[in-house]
Amino acid sequence: MKFAFILDPLEGLKADKDSSIAMMRAAQARGHAVAAIMRPALVWRDGAAHAAAAPLTVREDDHDWFEAHAPRQTPLAAFDAVLMRQDPPFDMEYVAATWLLEQAEASGARVFNAPCAVRDHSEKLAILAFPQLIPETVVAREAAALNAFIDATGDAILKPLDGMGGSGVFRVRRDDPNRNVIIETLTGQGARTIMAQRFLPQIAEGDKRILLIGGAAVPFSLARIPKPGETRGNLATGGTGVAQPLSRREREIAEHLAPLLHRRGILLAGIDVIGDCLTEINVTSPTCFVEITRQTGFDVAGMFVDALEKACRT
């Protein structure tokens, strides 16, 4: 099979921890051809979506992990699968890419995750469909509503709707002297909607990333444990990733969401769980394949390629 990956610039990817590279290595090891596409190269013309696709030779050497061959203009429908693996921000250019990929689907391309599903599942707001699984949450742009929530909970996490890697996330207590300026900054003086959630002290045990692949859960999570003095567990903010078997509650949440999201066109999702609560559903470019595999021996990328092969045959 031939798989095309829409990626960030290859030179900036870190092979010792990048999940997209793990996917490509696993696919190539099974004899599949892989190619890289940069999102700006997407174009619709002559009734179909095309892109300049560079065939790759993927190596196991983390310091010299790829050889890119000359790119060729290729209809996306010529690939057995196209995988959108570019990191957020989920801005209008990202949305435009989903529209073009939807047109590619109309001309016969198989795109994962489905472009319409990526658009419809805000990584912060998608959890609102599952109120029984989430902590107390408010989504608002008006300071009065956010202040009332902080007063009611006493301790809250505030975050933008379009961030990643812990960027723009604040912990705000009822008596925080900076809470008004934090709200003003995050909302742009009331111009932007943000999310507030009750602070979960179980963050000390880790913000658990659980991978859902092809309607099933990987049996291990990556607990991202905050460094001392931090409330954010994100690896990008210095958190430590510790792989561990799913708890009963984590498995319950994962098994509830996995088949539902799969039916919606999401082949791969990364859900975040703190304590007993679902906090995010990540569908753009979920990570943590490498860390889980390295620490447990469970072949996450192999499970993904299994699901991708199956999806391409159906």
Count Cβ atoms below 10 Å from residue 114 Cβ, excluding itself: 21
Instruction: Give catalytic status of residue 248 as yes or no.
Output: no
* Radius of gyration, alpha carbons of the chain: 20
Instruction: Give catalytic status of residue 310 as yes or no.
Output: no
Q: Report whether 150 contacts 174 (CB < 8 A).
A: yes
**Chain centroid to CA 6:** 14
Instruction: Give catalytic status of residue 294 as yes or no.
Output: no
Q: Report whether 53 contacts 7 (CB < 8 A).
A: no
**Candidate list 80, 113, 209, 291, residue with the active-site label:** 209
Q: State how beta strands 48-58 and 72-75 pair.
A: antiparallel
Instruction: Give catalytic status of residue 141 as yes or no.
Output: no
**Chain centroid to CA 282:** 4
d(C-alpha 201, C-alpha 53), whole Å: 46
**Candidate list 250, 272, 291, 309, residue with the active-site label:** 272
**Candidate list 25, 85, 110, 159, residue with the active-site label:** 159
**Candidate list 113, 208, 224, 234, residue with the active-site label:** 224
Instruction: Give catalytic status of residue 224 as yes or no.
Output: yes
**Candidate list 198, 232, 250, 291, residue with the active-site label:** 232
Instruction: Give catalytic status of residue 272 as yes or no.
Output: yes
Instruction: Give catalytic status of residue 232 as yes or no.
Output: yes
Instruction: Give catalytic status of residue 251 as yes or no.
Output: no
Which residues are tagged catalytic?
124, 159, 209, 224, 232, 272, 280, 282
